[in-house]
Structure 1
């Protein structure tokens, strides 16, 4: 039967390997959904300046049919039904794996120091709780908050108007430039929501987001 030190080493190594796999898969924020979404209702009135800062005021994306318009939660930049980033909790893979590392480390140190096994296990349990709580407060929650803020900021692009700066190919990609709510100039890879080709210089409205860029609708006043 394995001794206590071997069990503690195995527990810590298992926790570390699970944590490493979680990091490599990019799951720190706890969000497993896609950035893109489909929503049924058009959004609230949004001031949508064009690339020259003089775009029209629009009720949701200009010229976008209601069935493909992206919805908004009036109190949040992230549309209702989108994949929000959940704060880490004790039963998440990340929390359990970090805590398991603390369990193994504390137990091994106690056992190696000559503490009787009957006392080493409670010390290991204390290490489980202490390391888990510390990692949650100082590492996992700040990372989740940062990722949430990044996603929230990107959702603020939906409804903005811009200009195609590189031809969007039919059922392909191109490039669009627009200003965010703070006035910053943003350039993103873009695809058409209708799969149509959109020539350079055409005004467009951002209707949705993708991991690798944005989805746009050719504005009606460009026709």
Structure 2
């Protein structure tokens, strides 16, 4: 099956696209659309994380769980929202930690494309969701696909920083070879858990220290203005 995805990712994932589970996943999405269901993000943005951060450029893998399920929010980068959309609560806490960690002023924009363009691969475990129904596509095959993506990054690259926020993300640590990558774990930035170890965890400076120590250009964590 042909999937519109950046060439270096297409090469890495060609086998996955040919597997029966992926064919079933695509058919599931088509069936829901034909039934009038609204699915986020828009089709052109489902693989936005892959198209903005080619496999060859990945320095950091930031793992989210599910796309935002409100109108106009999701655009295929975990934790990020489209320009002009106010930052959701988890992203507000990410910005608070960013300011505390590196002194970066809290931006008005919630669009994190600038991070993705520098090598922060912003992967959600599910790449789609039905409008207003969180986790509605978590069982249709995306987890099989994104687990394979995490394994590919772990196996075929070195010195990548994997940022795992919250219990769900941390369960993916078993897919990562910790002998050649850095795994940063903390509580999730959600208002329900941010005070249990996310705030004060300094993931941004720790990421850049690790990258610099291995001769890799650090990330400019500033967020472009709206």
TM-score by length of 1: 0.24
More strand by share: 1
TM-score by length of 2: 0.24
Decide which structure has the larger Cα Rg and report it. 1
